[in-house]
């Protein structure tokens, strides 16, 4: 930058939710930025997302709160079921509303994505641009893309996901100088895979449960199988789902891809998703009225919008170097059960979320610890829950 009064030019790599959200915030502040996305188009993939007190105040500041509310369905209770569909006592979300002043809402991920995408002018997002290299010189940083593009700015933000190209380039340089911590050189691990998708909008006459005012959000815990599955009613009259396969041991993407190669399955794509659909389609769901198994939901969905993904969990130690900084999954990838100077402020919150994420993952899988957590969740009296909210706010609202 030529002087301290100039606003920096920010180059954002990745047009996922994190990259778009940063773009929307910079747009609000009048800070110049450009977003690069390697995909040529963004498919409306994903399931439902719970959005609550950590994000809604930011939505108010961005002026999109009123547009968000109709997209979401308020979550009041989260019921848990045995595979026999015998119900545990549901968890009550009223304490969260009392403590924060904000409700929690279930929103379909594609709808949330579209809302944030609208906050970023189209000419500031460039699709089909894959980052090949990043260099720093003369207090500037340059991003080189696959179309022979050379883009100069003051800061590069890697918001390009768990397998971030920006992180890889940054770590390669640090490793060559002997400055990369050992933990950051290890593969990104995961202990779960997940099947996600969403039905089309359903006819409320045929499926009256669609008319519920609040989000129907049941989670079923498999009895003799390493699976748990959640169903989420959206404001658009569809059901989203998340089916989690709890693996016997922690693995990595590289190890899983090697297994695929050994079995003539080269990649994550339509075939693995279909295999998981076939494997889980008879799992029961507590919706009734023609929706009694996961297969009933799969049959009401567009097949190419069902995907199988890995649920990685890792908080990297190195979040920035020079004029390059990482954001979101690129520096802290959490299990979705967990929910969320820069690093100094955010790292403690991320570590809390990471621990909560691991705890919720244990709860969802079949284990002794999971049984204890389930007992506490379903038997904890509301007065004690409220007390915990006020005594440990940082741990319970991250």
In whole angstroms, what is the distance from residue 270 CA to residue 273 CA? 5
In whole angstroms, what is the distance from residue 106 CA to residue 215 CA? 7
In whole angstroms, what is the distance from residue 45 CA to residue 4 CA? 42
Phi, then psi, of 267 in degrees rounded to 5: -160, 165
pLDDT of residue 312: 79
> Maximum Cα–Cα distance for the chain, whole Å?
67
* Average pLDDT of the chain to the nearest whole number: 83
pLDDT of residue 247: 83
pLDDT of residue 270: 78
Q: What dotted CATH number matches 44-108+188-313+367-398?
A: 3.30.9.30
Render pLDDT for 219-255 as a digit per residue (tens, 0 to 9). 999 988 899 999 999 999 999 999 999 887 766 566 6
pLDDT of residue 89: 76
pLDDT of residue 57: 95
Given a contact cutoff of 8 angstroms between Cβ atoms, the answer to whether 116 and 21 are in contact is: yes
pLDDT of residue 338: 45
- 184-188 long-range contacts (CB < 8 A, ≥24 apart) are 184/316, 184/317, 184/318, 187/252, 187/253, 187/254, 187/255, 188/162, 188/163, 188/252, 188/253, 188/312, 188/314, 188/333
In whole angstroms, what is the distance from residue 201 CA to residue 199 CA? 6
- Residue carrying structure tokens 């994420």: 357
pLDDT of residue 353: 46
pLDDT of residue 227: 93
Q: Residues 6 or more apart from 145 whose CB is under 8 A from it? A: 36, 129, 130, 131, 132, 151
Q: Which residues of the chain have pLDDT under 50?
A: 1-4, 261-267, 338-359, 363, 393-398
pLDDT of residue 342: 44
Q: What is the pTM of this model?
A: 0.81
């Amino acid at each position: 930058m030529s002087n301290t009064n100039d606003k920096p030019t920010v180059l954002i790599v990745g047009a996922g939710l994190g990259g778009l959200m940063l773009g929307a915030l910079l747009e609000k502040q009048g800070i110049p930025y450009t977003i690069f996305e390697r995909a040529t188009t963004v498919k409306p993939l994903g399931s439902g997302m719970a959005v609550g007190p950590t994000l809604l105040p930011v939505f108010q500041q961005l002026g999109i709160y009123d547009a968000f509310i109709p997209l979401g369905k308020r979550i009041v209770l989260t019921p848990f079921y045995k595979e026999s569909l015998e119900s545990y006592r549901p968890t009550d979300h009223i304490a969260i509303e009392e403590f924060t002043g904000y409700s929690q809402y279930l929103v379909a991920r594609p709808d949330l994505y579209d809302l944030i995408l609208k906050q970023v002018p189209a000419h500031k997002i460039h699709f089909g641009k894959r980052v090949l290299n990043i260099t720093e010189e003369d207090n500037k940083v340059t991003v080189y893309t696959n179309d022979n593009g050379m883009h100069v700015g003051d800061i590069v933000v890697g918001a390009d996901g768990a397998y971030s190209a920006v992180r890889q380039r940054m770590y390669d340089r640090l490793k060559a100088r002997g400055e990369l911590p050992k933990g950051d050189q290890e593969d990104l691990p995961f202990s779960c895979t997940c099947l996600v998708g969403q039905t089309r909008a359903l006819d409320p006459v045929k499926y009256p449960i669609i008319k519920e005012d609040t989000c129907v959000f049941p989670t079923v815990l498999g009895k003799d199988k390493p699976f748990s599955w959640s169903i989420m009613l959206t404001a658009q009259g569809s059901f989203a789902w998340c089916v989690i396969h709890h693996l016997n041991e922690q693995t990595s993407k590289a190890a899983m891809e090697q297994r695929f190669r050994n079995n003539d399955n080269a990649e994550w794509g339509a075939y693995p998703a279909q295999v998981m659909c076939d494997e889980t389609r008879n799992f029961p769901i507590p919706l009734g009225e023609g929706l009694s198994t996961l297969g009933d939901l799969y049959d009401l969905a567009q097949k190419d919008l069902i995907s199988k993904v890995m649920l990685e969990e890792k908080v990297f130690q190195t979040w920035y170097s020079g004029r390059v900084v990482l954001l979101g999954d690129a520096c802290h990838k959490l299990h979705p059960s967990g929910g969320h100077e820069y690093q100094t402020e955010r790292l403690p919150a991320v570590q809390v979320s990471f621990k909560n994420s691991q705890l919720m993952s244990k709860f969802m899988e079949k284990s002794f610890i999971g049984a204890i957590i389930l007992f506490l969740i379903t038997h904890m009296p509301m007065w004690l829950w409220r007390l915990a909210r006020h005594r440990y706010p940082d741990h319970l609202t991250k």
